[in-house]
Structure formats: structure tokens, C-alpha cells
């Protein structure tokens, strides 16, 4: 039980409980799994909610969430899925899956696309089934389970295909939209945008939504305060101060995933040293390498 006035007012109530535990137990609770509703993420979730609420239209509006990797795209999809969880139908007869999340396979083809979609639906796969059969089964199941929004993560994988496969996947996206009349949200890096833009009809149907790298400013300061409120340290670190904000932004290279990894590593270092807040020394001591440095070391190890 944590009592008010215990000096933990910089923390969210859930984090206060954890901050009161001994350091070794706190170490076991890392990394963090806590949704931070920063403005761009909230706006993206609101867009997806709007798409779910929209009545079945002749031509549903689609969305393309574009941003660098490790910048919160999958978290947005997960958030949306959690707000509309799968359930059993009222008559208890079948599953209802309002938000279906699938991943574009790394080596895309229509066949693998349908396999991924059927797997996301929890449907059995027919290894030898013809394409027509897969297509029919997929559409039938999607109607039955009442999918209101199809989210395709890692959409940039489309461009990993040969030209024929790229076209095949683009046709498929158009077909699904037309056939099922449900909105589709694609998530991916800028290659996802290129994959959509190279097809005129798709380009018109997907509204781009950018999730850019973070830059310095008031929003970054607020994000760092949100992180500070969930890191289980007893004293405030003042991560939003320019003194800490600048190195955090620089080392993480501006994605939320890297900032999170750096801050978790710094929290680990603090707890291991018996410190209750993050300072410049701990940021430097954290077991964390910036992405560029990681890549450099990896490539050097290949020589």
C-alpha cells in the first residue's frame, strides 16, 4: 500500500506500487508495457475508430500509417484491437472479430497473403487449396466474424516481391476493399507508401498519416514526462529538462522505441547501482547502443 505524500507524486499510481518494491523486484518488472497516448498516436487511433464506426460504404476510406521502424505503428494497431476485442457472438455460435490485424508476409504473394489472413482469423489452412477457394473462404469467414477494420502491418513488405508479386498484392488490396466493403489500414515504412503510390487507384483510396521521427520541443518534453511517470524510480529524474532531453533524443535517433529502450536500460543501470533517478552519468552507463552504432558494429563483425 502506497500512501500519498510519500514523494512519489511524479509517478502514475500503478508505477507507485512498483516503485515501492525492492530494487531486484523492480528489475524483474522491466521492460515496461504501458501505452502512452502521445498526440500523434491518439490521432491515429481516433482515425481508426472513425473507420470502424463508418457505415458500410461503396468505397470505404483507407488509411496508411507511415513512419520509421520502431516508432509506434504496431502499438497503435494493438491499441485499436484492444479497444475492440474479439468476442463470442450473442448466440454463442461464432467468433466476432471487429478489428483484424495481420502482417504482410516478408516474401509477398497472393497465396501467402491469404495464408496470413486466414491465420489471423484463426482459420485452418488448406495447403493445397486453390487460390479461388482461399479467396472465397477468406471472404466468407471475414463476413461471418464481422470484421469492421482490416489492419495490415508491415505493408512495406509488398515491395520485397518481384514486380509480378507486387502487382498481385496491389490487386488483392483493391479486391478485398471492393469485395468486403470494409476499410483497410496499412502500417509501414515509407516503402509502404511507395507501394501504394505506384498504383493510381490505391493511391486515391489510402490517406497517408505520418508518424515522423521525434524532434526537440514541447511534445518531446511531454513524452519524456510520460515515460518518467511509469519508470519505477523513487525520485524524479526530470527527463524533460534540456540537459537530459537532448542526449536522449540524440542517442535514440528520434524513435519512441529507441527512447523507451534507452530509458529502460538507464533505469536498469540506476537500480543496479542503488540510484533512484536517471542522470547524465546513468544515461551514458546504460547498456544501450544507438541504432546506427549497433548497425556499424554488426557490419564490422561481418568483415
Ligand X SMILES: Nc1ncnc2c1ncn2[C@@H]1O[C@H](COP(=O)(O)OP(=O)(O)O)[C@@H](O)[C@H]1O
Task: Give residues in contact with ligand X (CB under 6 A).
Answer: 34-36, 41, 67, 69-75, 256-257, 260
189 touches, from Mg ion, ligand X, none (C-beta below 5 to 8 Å by class):
none
Of 75 and 145, nearer to ligand X (C-beta) is: 75
CB nearer to ligand X: pick between 138 and 189 = 189
The candidate with the shortest Cα–Cα distance to 41, out of 67, 13, 60, 12, is 67
**β-strand pairing of 99-103 with 95-96:** unpaired
Say which entry of ligand X, Mg ion, none residue 70 contacts (CB below 5 to 8 A, set by partner kind). ligand X
Closer Cβ to ligand X, 134 or 156, answer by number: 156
Q: How far is CA 201 from CA 62, 110, 140, in A?
A: 12, 18, 25
Instruction: Supply the minimum distance, in Å, between the C-beta of residue 225 and ligand X.
Output: 13
DSSP code for 212: P
Which of Mg ion, ligand X, none lies near 41, with the C-beta cut-off 5 to 8 A by kind?
ligand X
CB of 289 to ligand X, least distance (A): 16
Query: With respect to Mg ion, which residue has the nearer C-beta, 73 or 277?
Result: 73
Our CB check for ligand X shows the closer of 80 and 142 to be: 80
Q: What's the DSSP call for residue 138?
A: H
The residue (of 188 and 232) whose beta carbon lies closer to Mg ion is: 188
Q: What is the dihedral of CA 141, 209, 215, 255, to 10 degrees?
A: 20
Residue 56 CB contacts under 8 Å (≥ 6 apart), including other chains? 181, 182
Q: Min. distance of Cβ 71 from ligand X in angstroms?
A: 4
- What is 233-276 written as a DSSP string? -SS---TTSHHHHHHHHHHHTT-HHHHHHHHHHHHHHHHHTT-S
Which 54-73 residues touch Mg ion, going by CB under 5 A? 73
Minimal distance, residue 110 CB to ligand X, in Å: 24
Answer yes or no whether residue 267 interacts with Mg ion by CB under 5 A. no
- The span from the CA of 275 to the CA of 246, in Å, is 22
Closest distance to Mg ion from the beta carbon of 191 (Å): 13
| Residue 232 binds which entry of ligand X, Mg ion, none, CB below 5-8 Å type-dependent | none
- C-beta closer to ligand X: residue 96 or 221: 221
Task: Report in angstroms how near the CB of residue 15 gets to ligand X at its nearest.
Answer: 13
Q: Is 74 in the site for Mg ion (CB under 5 A)?
A: yes
Cell numbers for 82: 484492444
CB of 74 to Mg ion, least distance (A): 3
What residues pair up with 101 in beta bridges, in sequence order? 151
Q: How far apart are CA 17 and CA 222, in angstroms?
A: 22
Beta-carbon contacts of 135 under 8 Å, excluding residues fewer than 6 positions away, are: 114, 175
Binding region for Mg ion (CB under 5 A): 73-74
Amino acid at each position: 500500500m502506497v500512501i500519498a505524500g510519500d514523494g512519489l507524486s511524479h509517478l502514475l499510481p500503478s508505477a507507485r506500487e512498483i516503485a515501492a518494491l525492492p530494487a531486484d523486484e523492480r528489475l524483474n518488472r522491466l521492460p515496461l508495457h504501458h501505452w502512452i497516448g502521445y498526440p500523434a498516436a491518439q490521432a491515429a487511433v481516433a482515425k481508426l475508430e472513425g473507420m470502424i464506426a463508418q457505415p458500410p460504404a461503396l468505397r470505404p476510406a483507407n488509411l496508411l500509417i507511415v513512419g520509421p521502424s520502431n516508432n509506434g505503428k504496431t502499438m497503435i494497431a494493438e491499441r485499436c484491437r484492444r479497444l475492440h476485442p474479439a468476442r463470442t457472438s450473442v448466440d454463442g455460435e461464432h467468433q466476432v472479430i471487429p478489428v483484424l490485424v495481420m502482417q504482410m508476409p516478408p516474401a509477398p504473394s497472393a497465396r501467402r497473403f491469404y495464408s496470413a489472413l486466414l491465420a489471423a482469423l484463426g482459420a485452418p489452412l488448406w495447403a493445397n487449396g486453390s487460390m479461388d477457394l482461399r479467396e472465397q473462404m477468406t471472404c466468407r469467414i471475414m463476413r461471418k466474424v464481422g470484421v469492421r477494420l482490416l489492419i495490415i502491418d508491415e505493408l512495406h513488405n509488398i515491395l520485397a516481391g518481384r514486380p509480378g508479386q507486387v502487382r498481385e498484392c496491389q490487386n488483392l488490396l483493391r479486391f478485398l476493399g471492393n469485395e468486403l466493403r470494409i476499410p483497410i489500414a496499412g502500417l509501414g515504412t515509407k516503402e509502404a507508401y511507395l507501394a501504394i503510390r505506384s498504383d493510381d487507384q490505391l493511391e486515391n483510396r489510402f490517406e497517408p498519416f505520418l508518424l515522423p521521427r521525434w524532434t526537440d520541443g514541447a511534445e518531446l518534453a511531454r513524452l519524456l514526462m510520460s515515460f518518467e511517470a511509469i519508470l519505477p524510480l523513487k525520485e524524479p529524474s526530470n527527463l524533460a529538462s534540456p540537459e537530459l532531453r537532448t542526449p536522449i533524443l540524440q542517442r535514440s535517433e528520434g524513435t519512441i522505441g529507441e527512447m523507451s529502450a534507452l530509458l529502460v536500460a538507464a533505469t536498469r543501470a540506476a537500480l543496479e547501482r542503488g540510484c533512484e533517478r536517471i542522470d547524465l552519468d546513468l544515461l551514458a552507463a546504460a547498456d544501450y547502443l544507438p541504432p546506427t552504432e549497433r548497425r556499424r558494429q554488426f557490419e564490422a563483425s561481418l568483415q
